[in-house]
């Protein structure tokens, strides 16, 4: 018995690594079938465990469980038989059966490293984090030189947001085994969480050196490059990750449960659908890099490929719908948003987004339905009220727009854009005092908001009602506008402010500069004509008045 336990102690951690992919063959059915070793009465518990270990290596977990059960029948006090069967149950997806076996293994052998490690995995799956970490701590106490245990504890810390605790564990695993690429990958992922992108790229690079055909490391390094703004490098890495998808899909089945990293630990490798979903994320990642570079066609192409792999992903349809909208491909955007609504009919944001696409196509009735539906689903939907308010502005239903924008401001009183929107609506019904208040409030919230400052300066300079005009304040706001950007529109506003203050010579000079820029930019004759009309007013010492 002692010799048996000694041999089993050597192979126990190896088994811990190997169990990952479950067989689809039911255990009860297999129990009725003849397993060759069971027919030989001279077989010992050790023989059954050895055979069970062989089945585990072949990923035939149901057969392995039967062998371990036979070993327990022969030696009901054998801790390794319980430990192995518990671990096999865990990887077979029968967690509730796994835990009693692992508890029994520890009861029989309080220093059973394998049982503590395996029970830590089970407890983590049951979301009993403190107990899982306690078991992994005990495993490390029993043998402080097992790199794989540090790696797994680091993963538990990572998945629970304890990044500062995870990094030392991954580093310790690397110290103990510097040739295991996944440890570098995991530590690199932890560095990303900490915002240490140079360190993460260094770790992902080392992982690639150790396994040049592992797409996971390329994927992660590509994401890190995106975070650093290194988009060209990101596209190269993410493209390589996509090329390696078939390799990874094949080789996932050849890795044990502990030889996994944070990025690929979240799904069942034996499930082709989950593999497709993971592979779709690589196209999504590259699509983000294309978006940052303004390569929207390429972004749409990658998202379309991702949808082929994961046709029920709301995220991908949402991203592609937005990309279509950027390209002004509104019919295609509506199609994507409609798919989103089919997938999740109770999400108000999807109706709001589709409503915006309808607005762009001037299909206001359809847009109105979508915005109303979004508000029905969520009476606190800021985007729905804001978007419906903008639609009312197009329809010149200013009172309705003001009502919606006021609701938005009540929900989110610290965003300048909402005050600007309401200020426009107040201007539409000639409530200048309220408009001035809203533009001023927007500037208070963001002194660099050029839209609010431009609108306020223009109103103060050109309002038909004298009591709202103030040339000095208009100049103050307009001069701040041109400090950073002397574009024609801002110069036009400054010229109007100068004219209102009686500084007609300055108004003429400023307006002439604006017109020269327009001509150099190749602006339309109609637009230039408007600027020339105002210039004529200033030359005659007349201020401009809005109509």
What's the pLDDT tens digit per position in 46-60? 889 888 888 888 878
Number of domains in the chain: 2
Using the predicted structure, report yes or no on whether residue 463 has a pLDDT greater than 90.
yes
Domain boundary among 89, 111, 144: 144
Q: What pLDDT score was predicted for residue 161?
A: 92
Query: Is 55 among the domain residues?
Result: yes
What's the pLDDT tens digit per position in 98-147? 899 889 989 999 998 888 888 988 898 888 989 999 999 999 999 999 99
Assigned token pair, 322: 């937005």
pTM greater than the 0.85 cutoff: no
pLDDT band at 37 (very low <50, low <70, confident <90, very high): very low
Write down the mean pLDDT value for the chain.
87
Query: Is 163 among the domain residues?
Result: no
Using the predicted structure, report yes or no on whether residue 509 has a pLDDT greater than 60.
yes
Helix 314-326 and helix 272-292: axis angle, to 10°? Answer: 30
Q: What pLDDT score was predicted for residue 279?
A: 78
Query: Is 460 among the domain residues?
Result: yes
Helix 45-57 and helix 79-92: axis angle, to 10°? Answer: 30
Mean of pLDDT values over 474-492: 94
Q: What is the DSSP letter of 471?
A: H
pLDDT band at 266 (very low <50, low <70, confident <90, very high): very low
Query: Is 139 among the domain residues?
Result: yes
Integer Cα distance of 116 and 123 in angstroms: 10
The torsion defined by the Cα of 517, 519, 520 and 522, in degrees rounded to 10, comes to 120
Q: Which of 69-83, 400-414, 516-530 shows the lowest per-residue confidence on average (mean pLDDT)?
A: 69-83
Integer Cα distance of 134 and 132 in angstroms: 5
- CATH number of domain containing 497: 1.25.40
Q: What pLDDT score was predicted for residue 274?
A: 53
Q: Which of 27-36, 244-253, 425-434, 435-444 shows the lowest per-residue confidence on average (mean pLDDT)?
A: 27-36
Integer Cα distance of 447 and 225 in angstroms: 33
Q: What pLDDT score was predicted for residue 56?
A: 82
Q: Helix (H, G, I), strand (E, B), or coil: what is residue 261?
A: coil
Assigned token pair, 160: 């629970």
Q: Compute the C-alpha angle 541/542/547, nearest 5°.
A: 165
Assigned token pair, 323: 């990309």
Q: What pLDDT score was predicted for residue 90?
A: 84
Query: Is 67 among the domain residues?
Result: yes
Q: What pLDDT score was predicted for residue 193?
A: 94
Q: In the block, which residue shows the tokens 């319980």?
A: 82
Mean of pLDDT values over 518-527: 95
Query: Is 404 among the domain residues?
Result: no
The torsion defined by the Cα of 367, 368, 371 and 377, in degrees rounded to 10, comes to -120
Q: What pLDDT score was predicted for residue 245?
A: 66
**Percent of the chain that is helix, strand, coil (3-state, to 5):** 75, 0, 25
Integer Cα distance of 430 and 463 in angstroms: 10
C-alpha to C-alpha distances, 366 to 56, 343, 350, 371, 459, nearest whole angstrom:
59, 20, 14, 9, 34
Query: Is 484 among the domain residues?
Result: yes
Using the predicted structure, report yes or no on whether residue 14 has a pLDDT greater than 80.
no
Integer Cα distance of 489 and 454 in angstroms: 9
Residue pair 153/121 in contact by the 8 Å Cβ criterion: no
User: Max Cα separation, the chain?
Assistant: 117
Q: What pLDDT score was predicted for residue 364?
A: 96
Integer Cα distance of 527 and 519 in angstroms: 10
Mean of pLDDT values over 5-28: 44
Going by C-alpha positions, the residue among 264, 261, 258 that lies closest to residue 245 is 264
Mean of pLDDT values over 369-376: 97
Domain boundary among 144, 162, 192: 144
Query: Is 489 among the domain residues?
Result: yes
Range of the domain at 130: 1-144
Mean of pLDDT values over 28-56: 66
Q: In the block, which residue shows the tokens 């300079």?
A: 461
Residue pair 131/116 in contact by the 8 Å Cβ criterion: no
- CATH number of domain containing 66: 1.25.40.10
Sign for the pseudo-dihedral over CA of 80, 81, 82, 87: positive
Mean of pLDDT values over 378-394: 96
Assigned token pair, 310: 């994961």
CB neighbours of residue 466 within 10 Å: 6
Q: Helix (H, G, I), strand (E, B), or coil: what is residue 469?
A: coil
Cβ-defined contacts of 479-486 (< 8 Å, 24+): 480/453, 481/450, 481/453, 481/454, 481/457, 484/450, 485/450, 486/513, 486/517
Per-residue exposure over 429-444, b if at least 16 CB sit within 10 Å of its own CB, e if not:
eebbebbbebbbbbbe
pLDDT band at 243 (very low <50, low <70, confident <90, very high): confident
Mean of pLDDT values over 407-431: 96
Integer Cα distance of 331 and 235 in angstroms: 29
Domain boundary among 144, 164, 189: 144
Q: Residues with Cβ < 8 Å from 62, sequence gap 6 or more?
A: 23, 25, 26, 27, 30, 92
């Amino acid at each position: 018995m002692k010799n048996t336990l000694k041999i089993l102690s050597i192979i126990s951690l190896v088994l811990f690594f190997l169990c990952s992919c479950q067989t689809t063959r039911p255990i009860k059915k297999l129990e009725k079938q003849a397993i060759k070793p069971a027919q030989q009465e001279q077989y010992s518990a050790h023989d059954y465990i050895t055979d069970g270990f062989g089945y585990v290596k072949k990923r035939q977990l149901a057969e392995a469980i039967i062998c371990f059960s036979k070993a327990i029948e022969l030696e009901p006090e054998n801790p390794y038989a319980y430990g192995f069967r518990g671990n096999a149950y865990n990887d077979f997806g029968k967690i509730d059966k796994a835990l009693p076996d692992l508890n029994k293994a520890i009861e029989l052998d309080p220093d059973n490293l394998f049982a503590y490690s395996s029970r830590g995995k089970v407890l983590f799956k049951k979301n009993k984090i403190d107990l899982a970490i306690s078991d992994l701590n005990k495993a490390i106490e029993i043998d402080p030189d097992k790199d794989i245990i540090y790696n797994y504890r680091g993963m538990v810390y990572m998945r629970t947001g304890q990044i500062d605790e995870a990094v030392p564990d991954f580093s310790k695993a690397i110290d103990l085994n510097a040739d295991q690429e996944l440890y570098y990958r995991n530590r690199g992922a932890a560095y990303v969480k900490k915002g240490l992108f140079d360190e993460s790229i260094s770790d992902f690079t080392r992982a690639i050196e150790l396994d040049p055909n592992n797409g996971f490391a390329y994927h992660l390094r590509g994401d890190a490059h995106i975070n650093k703004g290194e988009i060209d490098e990101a596209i190269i890495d993410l493209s390589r990750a996509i090329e390696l998808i078939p390799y990874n899909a094949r080789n996932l089945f050849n890795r044990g449960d502990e030889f996994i990293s944070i990025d690929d630990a979240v799904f069942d490798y034996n499930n082709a659908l989950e593999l497709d979903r993971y592979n779709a994320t690589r196209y999504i990642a590259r699509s983000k890099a294309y978006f940052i570079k303004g390569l929207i066609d390429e972004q749409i192409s990658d998202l379309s490929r991702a949808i082929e792999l994961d046709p029920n992903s709301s995220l991908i349809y949402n991203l592609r719908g937005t990309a279509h909208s950027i390209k002004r491909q509104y019919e295609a955007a509506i199609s994507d948003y409609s798919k989103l609504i089919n997938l999740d009919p109770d999400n108000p944001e999807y109706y709001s987004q589709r409503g915006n696409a309808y607005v762009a196509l001037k299909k206001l009735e359809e847009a109105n339905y979508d915005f109303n539906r979004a508000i029905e689903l969520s009476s606190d939907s800021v985007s729905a009220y804001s978007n419906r308010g903008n639609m009312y502005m197009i329809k010149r239903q200013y009172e309705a727009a003001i009502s919606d924008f006021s609701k938005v401001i009540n929900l989110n009183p610290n965003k300048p854009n909402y005050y600007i929107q309401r200020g426009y609506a107040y201007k539409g019904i000639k409530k200048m005092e309220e408009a001035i208040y809203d533009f001023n409030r927007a500037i208070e919230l963001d002194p660099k908001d050029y839209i609010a400052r431009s609108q306020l300066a223009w109103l103060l300079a050109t309002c038909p009602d004298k009591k709202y005009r103030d040339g000095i304040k208009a100049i103050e706001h307009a001069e701040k506008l041109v400090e950073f950007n002397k574009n024609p529109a801002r110069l036009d506003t400054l010229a109007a402010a100068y004219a209102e203050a009686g500084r007609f010579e300055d108004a003429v000079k400023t307006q002439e500069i604006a017109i020269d820029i327009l001509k150099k930019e190749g602006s339309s004759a109609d637009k230039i004509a408007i600027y020339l009309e105002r210039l004529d007013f200033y030359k005659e010492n007349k201020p401009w008045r809005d109509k």
